[in-house]
Chain A
Amino acid sequence: MKSFSIGGIHAPENKLTADKATVTGALPSQAVVLLNQHLGAPATPVVAKGETVKTGQIIAKASGMISACIHAPVSGKVLKIDECVDASGYKKPAIYIVREGDEWMEDIDRTDTFVDRFDWTPEQIREKIAAAGITGMGGAGFPTHVKLSPPPGKKAEVLIVNAVECEPYLTADHRLMLEKGREIVMGLRLLMKGVGVTRGIIAIENNKKDAIAYMKSLVSADMGIEVVALKVKYPQGGEKQLIDAAIGRQVPSGALPVDVGAIVQNVATVFAAYEAVQKNKPLIERIITVTGKTLSAPGNFWMRLGTSMQEVMDMAGGLPEDAGKIIGGGPMMGKPLVSLTVPMTKGSSGLLVLPNLEAPRKEIRNCIRCAKCVDACPMGLEPYLFMTLTQHEEWDKLEKERIMDCIECGCCTFSCPSTRPLLDYLRIGKQKVGGIIRARNQKKVG
């Protein structure tokens, strides 16, 4: 079975909620909608304090080339436009809406009826996706419509749907496929038309056999879509790793996926694209996996964006007594949350609670040069060396050793028998080297 070619790890899967059908979550009393839920420039608010909004109404417009629109996830009154602490722990601007009922925009089709209209032009598809504010829902949050329009001179050949869900614990994408498979296939066909490619691949890790079988039953050869089962290995969901695994092409250092002819979209994004085009529905809700070994009722929930993590947690029976660490996302790349007041965003795929026992880190010991970190690195880098070089502030050497290739997957830290915080240092080194490179490029231009 196929997988990516370098490094990678096997972590305990802990997919506790794989067989829990999705439940529609309670509506929040207040939605706090961050203006920067995507990579790029924050959206510009188009509503004012005191204004009444309907569910699905646009409340902030994309500003600039790389940005995305934002819509009201609930109906009600705009309380204020103010700052709010997000998952990264920093204060970011947000629109606060106090919910009143749930009154939707009239042009949105809220029914479950499957729509298979296919007479859209590629432009229409791209426009509808941009208007719906769709972004990558797997993590980075890159605006989808930007990805669908490759830079001039570059041609995509294949659209790969990232449905591997390689993070332990998370099952949101798995459930989505089982429950909305038809819509996903339709969404993929629309996206393929939107970018102008004839080949589509749905890549699923082999620990989701039911989803593989179901998706296979939904596609046919004349659609140009193939369902590919991949060997379970983390970080298969990394864009470069996924392309390597699915079509055997390696994106060179510093290049884009489209340079090897590929565009990758997360499976939740593909579903959102279906809803945007066929149902006129903007991205205002998503599935989030709320999980942890000591939760009383872990599950997968459809939640409106802007709902506080506290209310999300309540859906799964509330925060357990022994909660030691709360993570927004999965255990390998998720962000540690300082509190549960953080609101849900377009990229919130999971809320994970680790018990006290598993939360603290272990003592840092001498590097025994065992090379486990080197063997684990999916980018072919030398994490132990990065850590030393960062400690010695040798930025030139770090750049030469290609620290900027690091995808921050955490395989190195995960594997180190001396429990060294390799990635913590790598992030510092990357930030520093990235700054140096930007400064140098600016000088060249100026």
Chain B
Amino acid sequence: MGNKFFVSLAPHIHGGDSIEKKMYGVLIALLPALAVSVYVFGVGALVVTGISVLSCVLFEYVLQRFVLKVQPTVTDGSAILTGLLLAFNLPSNLPFWIILIGAMAAIGIGKMSFGGLGNNPFNPAIVGRVFLLISFPSQMTTWPNAFERSYVDASTGATPLDMVKNHFGDLPSFSELLMGQSGGSLGELGALALLLGGLFMLYRGIITWHIPVVILLTAFVSAFCFSLLAPESFYAYQTGSSLGNALAYAGFHLVSGGMMLGAFFMATDYVTSPMTPRGQLLYAFGIGLITILIRVFGAYPEGMSFAIFLMNGVTPLINTYIKPKRFGEVRK
């Protein structure tokens, strides 16, 4: 028998959670949305997703193995997730070399230069997206129309956000937006599918409600207020009353562009969002408000990724000043 027992301090059991469980959980949650975009954009969606995911994983492996000389951690699923999220932020006809540059920016600049998973201040996928948006503004803002399923010669057109911002074109109906029948980046369509994925993550305890709910709520309320204050300038659907128009306008913002993707999948990134529920509320409020401000007043029709990028930058500050509710702090 001998005294060869393990001796380590309590606790002696572990809940069994792991990075993999979290990351692959998010990936599973993204599957319905992926299915929608493949249905709508066909080969284009598959090619863009494939290139993005593969190159992210490859870059991470190569950088860790040969440059940083550490044990590669590509199997933890985080590089796959970055690749998928990056793809969801791209148009389905983006030339492959631009995708490669985006992946390089996401993994190289966004993640590895800071010391890998857990140390990056900004969401890597958003770093990739913002990098491309600034470097290749025209390729990044021409989107194939819905059901243009080819990668190379898809006809392009305006996105719903464009139409509403500049008051032109045939706006898809609300239900079409919910089901994903509109132009846009891969992950900007199918609000319902994204919501489904979000609910799955909530159910599995991968995320908490704080960030998505507050982002959506803030965006809804602020869009509603803008429309109510200036009904002539901000409307999506004509309903016959300014109150109805404002509600429709606010609802439109929730189901179009990167709102759902951002609220459930990008803003909730563990590494770059605040650590305490109270901090998360503030962070989410900022994202919701900035997104609508950019959408309404900014140069770009979409502001989700900039808003998240900005609030990622504020996260360390939030973590320093907003502390959890301490036990015994407030007497009940």
**Which A residues contact B (CB, under 8 angstroms)?**
5-6, 9, 11-12, 89, 168, 240, 244, 248-253, 255, 319, 323-327, 329, 331-339, 352, 354, 358-362, 365-372, 374-375, 377-382, 384-385, 401-402, 405, 408, 410, 413-419, 423-424, 427
Contacts and interface: CB of A to CB of B under 8 A. Distances in A.
B331 A249 contact: yes
A370 B273 CA distance: 9
B13 A168 contact: yes
A418 B17 CA distance: 8
Contacts of A12: 13
B19 A418 contact: yes
B13 A369 contact: no
B330 to A, nearest CB: 8
A82 B12 CA distance: 31
Given A250-B332, A365-B19, A424 B117 contact: no
Given A326-B5, A358-B13, 15 more contacts: A250-B329, A325-B5, A331-B10, A332-B12, A333-B11, A336-B10, A359-B5, A367-B118, A368-B22, A372-B17, A375-B277, A410-B11, A414-B11, A414-B13, A418-B18
Nearest to B12: A331
A369 B271 contact: yes
B6 A332 contact: no
B19 A417 contact: yes
Contact of A336 (B6, B276, B325): B6
B327 A378 contact: yes
A384 B326 contact: no
B332 A382 contact: no
B65 interface: no
A375 B274 CA distance: 12
A427 B272 CA distance: 28
Contacts of A416: 14, 17
A379 B276 contact: no
A378 B324 CA distance: 11
Interface string B7-48: 111111111011101100000000000000000000000000
B8 A248 contact: no
Contacts of B3: 338-339
Contact of B275 (A332, A369, A405, A410): A369
Interface string B101-135: 00000000000000011110000000000000000
A369 to B, nearest CB: 5
Given A250-B332, A338-B3, A382-B275, A371 B270 contact: yes
19 contacts: A89-B7, A252-B331, A255-B328, A332-B10, A335-B10, A336-B8, A337-B5, A359-B12, A366-B116, A369-B118, A374-B324, A381-B326, A410-B11, A413-B14, A415-B15, A416-B14, A417-B18, A419-B18, A423-B10
Contact of B328 (A89, A250, A329, A401): A250
B1 interface: yes
Q: What's the interface size class on B, roughly?
A: 35 or more
Contact of A402 (B19, B208, B326): B326
B167 interface: no
Nearest to B1: A319
B204 interface: no
B243 to A, nearest CB: 39
Interface string B243-273: 0000000000000000000000000001110
A380 B12 contact: no
A11 B15 contact: yes
B145 to A, nearest CB: 39
Query: Does more than half of chain B's interface fall in helix, strand or loop, or is it mixed?
Result: loop
- Most interface-central of B19, B208, B325 (chain A CB within 10 A): B19
Contacts of A248: 332
Contacts of A324: 5-6
Contact of A250 (B21, B116, B118, B331): B331
A323 B328 contact: no
Contact of A368 (B1, B10, B117, B277): B117
Contacts of A377: 324
A96 B270 CA distance: 56
Contacts of A359: 5-6, 12
Instruction: Please list the 5 inter-chain residue pairs (A to B) with the smallest Cβ-Cβ separation, ordered nearest first.
Output: A410-B11, A366-B118, A380-B326, A370-B270, A417-B17
Given A324-B6, A366-B117, A414 B328 contact: no
Contacts of A352: 12
Contacts of B117: 366, 368
B237 to A, nearest CB: 39
A368 B329 CA distance: 28
Contact of A384 (B12, B275, B329): B275
A6 B19 CA distance: 24
Contacts of A384: 275
Contacts of B12: 325, 327, 331-332, 334, 336, 352, 354, 359
Contacts of A168: 13
Given A368-B270, A370-B270, A374-B275, A423 B9 contact: yes
A250 B19 CA distance: 34
Contact of B13 (A331, A372, A379): A331
A385 to B, nearest CB: 8
Contacts of A9: 15
Contacts of A370: 22, 270
Contacts of A249: 331-332
A84 to B, nearest CB: 16
A242 to B, nearest CB: 12
A368 B5 contact: no
Nearest to B21: A417
B270 to A, nearest CB: 4
Nearest to A411: B11
Nearest to B115: A366
Interface string B302-332: 0000000000000000000001111111111
